[in-house]
Amino acid sequence: MLDSTIMKNTLTPVSVVTGGAGFLGSHLVDILLARGHRVIVIDNLVTGSTDNIAHLAGNQKFTFIRQDVTEFLFIAGPVDYVWHFASPASPIDYLELPIQTLKVGSLGTHKALGLAKEKGARFLITSTSEVYGDPLVHPQTESYWGNVNPIGPRGCYDESKRFAEALVMAYHHEHKLDTRIVRIFNTYGPRMRIKDGRVVPAFVSQALLGQPITIFGDGQQTRSFCFCSDLLEGIYRLMMLEHPTQHLPVNIGNPQELTMVQFAQEIIQATGSSSTLTYQPLPQDDPKQRRPDITRARTLLGWEPVVPLSEGLKSTIAYFKTKLGV
């Protein structure tokens, strides 16, 4: 049974989404609106874009506030859910914005938690598989503490998320805040930025332009790719979950593991490209393996990914074609 805090706006629940103009945040906004929520987006547009939410202009249930989440958050009226999605999330972003990345993970999470505490709202933070670092355990389970280099080039992102998880747990224990932590593994889909440094936009754009596809290292490092609609369904279920362990981290991702060479070949086939592969040195601290153990998500949420890679790539490639004009 839902507690009284969540029941207070049963007819029209109110959701605040930080980072709601970003890739995943904007897709979440669409889902929430479709499911009857009134949605307030807070985004400073450092990595987000109004293009991702332009189709919502004039929607009476949608409000956009351009603001840095590290500043005090004031929202008039009731709030039922706070979805904290704000953060640079790609290597090129957090390597160029290391201090901002650390601030949004620490100060931004603190402000978002403060809003949830003030409103008596349920809170969810999007953490990351990067909390596992370059893992020594494979696949990665939620009980694994990780192998992270705090002073390496990726430390600003990895440690900001690890700190954010600790802060969320502190609010849960000290203030009895109703919280959720989701650890997101590699996700792809429309609205990704072409030059955000992640493998999907990099490979797809290179293939569509007929350029060599850049492989770092020997290409045998692995990733698992989850389509955005699958990921967000899992996140939505976690937010709505009523369970004694609902505050503990949950991996959401696709356990199908591919090497970077295999993934590049999938992209070449899907785009019909004649691109070849080119190799460059592996960046420092780049994880060698990445695959989620989703036993907890299957058990608690009844969730697992359903969109095949071939299907997800079709819509993703179609999106990038419009952006590249090819």
**Would you list the DSSP string of 164-227?**
HHHHHHHHHHHH---EEEEEE--EE-TT--TTSS-HHHHHHHHHHTTPPEEEETTS--EEE-EE
Q: Give the helix/strand (H/E) hosting 161.
A: helix 155-175
- Is residue 75 within 8 A of residue 39, CB to CB? The reply is no
157 included as an active-site residue:
yes
Question: Coil, strand or helix: which one is 313?
Answer: helix
Report the chain's terminal Cα–Cα distance, integer Å: 51
Active-site pick, 81, 94, 132, 157? 157
Are residues 177 and 241 in contact, defined by beta-carbon separation less than 8 angstroms?
no
Which is nearest to 211 in space by CA: 326, 74, 61, 72? 326
Q: DSSP state, 305?
A: -
Cis amide leading into 139 (omega within 30) = yes
d(CA 181, CA 191): 24
HEC secondary structure over 270-302: HHCCCCCEEEECCCCCCCCCCCECCHHHHHHHC
Buried b (16+ CB within 10 A) or exposed e, 94-123: bbebbebbbbbbbebbbbbbebbeebbbbb
Based on the number of CB atoms within 10 Å of its own CB, is 186 exposed (0-12), middle (13-18) or buried (19 or more)? buried
Give the integer Cα–Cα distance in Å for 67 and 18.
Answer: 9
Query: Nearest-5° angle of CA 301, CA 304, CA 307?
Result: 140
Catalytic positions, written as ranges? 157
